[in-house]
Amino acid sequence: MIFQEFFFANFLKKIKESKVQKTFVNGVLMALTDMVPGISGSTIALVLGIYQKLLVAIKNIELKPLLKFDFKSFLKSFDFTFLIPLICGMIFSFLVFSRLFSFFLSHEFYRAFFLSFFLGIVLSCTYFLLKEIKIGFDNLFLILIGSIISFSISYFSVGEINLSFNFEIKLIIAGFIAIFAMLLPGISGSLILVMLGIYPIVINALSNISNIENLKILGFLAIGIFLGLFVFPKIILFFIKKYYFLVLSFLIGLMFGSIYALWPFWFYKKNIFASKTFLIPTKLKIPEVLSLEFLLSVSFLILGFFIFFKIKQKLLIKS
């Protein structure tokens, strides 16, 4: 009762001050963009002017009071009137838009256009990131290292899907790395999931959380995410302040290497997992240049490139 009175009294009292509805919408936008391989939710947070506030809020969370069931002290440790509506908006976005994404990933014909569109976004985002750095030996070296790491992860992640012990560990690691990427402006957590070969599985799990296997998938992923949330904010704040352009160079490398994972044309095999049929890429396919699939895929790639290009241009003009 004490917790409920404190929570609701303070929450309602600060609704007007904290602009809860606006924060909720910001959360929706962040989650929607982070589900898109190539665009970081943190990039949107940066544009919306809440990036530093987000990192500080996460960094200030204290778990000791929660372990002692001291909810009042726990809530006082961070800006809960900002963080809770933001998280609610993100959860809402994940649950609603994941259904649409899952549909496109489940059909070979639409999947090529889906990946082409996001490949265009990644190339456009990489273009703008390259404009921010001065090309030198250190930058080129980190771009190369990032590219090799990204390509290697993508290349060796193609294979069978099964919820074995190794897959559970992979989900935890994926969540841990994905939240790190999500907290960095420039690369999305979804791109990490694509590179690891589990993006369709996670999107499907979000679109159908009533399935026990899907809850298990999201549970293991959540473990990695929560571990990352209590490790990375301080580290990211430190490195971005001290080594911003070197961090940016490494991110550019990761995005270059992810082109392999976002390649639209594959030979697939079907695999049933958690009561859902998944398309598992097995081998790269070189399409016929004048085929309908190729022409439409190129069109979606160009569309993705220029949509992000125009959005970024307008944001730069406003800033």
Q: Is the four-CA dihedral 197, 25, 117, 100 of positive or negative sign?
A: positive
Going from the C-alpha of 144 to that of each of 42, 138, 140, 148, 274, the distances in angstroms are 24, 10, 6, 6, 37
Amino acid at 16: K
CA distance linking residue 200 with residue 101, whole number of Å:
8
- pLDDT top residue among 262 and 295: 295
* pLDDT tens by residue, 167-201: 888 899 889 988 887 787 656 778 788 777 788 88
Residue 308 CB burial class (10 angstroms; 0-12, 13-18, ≥19) = buried
Candidate from 45-59, 93-107, 158-172, 290-304 with smallest mean pLDDT: 158-172
Average pLDDT, integer, range 292-315: 85
Mean pLDDT of 134-145: 90
pTM exceeds cut of 0.85 = no
> Of 222, 232, 102, 231, which Cα lies nearest the Cα of 171?
222
Tokens 């703008």 sit on residue: 128
283 forms beta bridges with: 267
- pLDDT, residue 115, reads 87
Question: Is residue 17 pLDDT above 50, yes or no?
Answer: no
3 state DSSP class of 230: coil
Place of tokens 């509506």: 85
pLDDT exceeds 90 at position 141: yes
- Rounded to whole angstroms, the Cα distance separating 274 from 280 reads 14
Separation in Å, CA 230 to CA 50, 88, 199, 233: 19, 19, 23, 7
Considering only the C-alpha atoms of the chain, give the largest distance between any 2 of them, rounded to a whole number of Å: 69
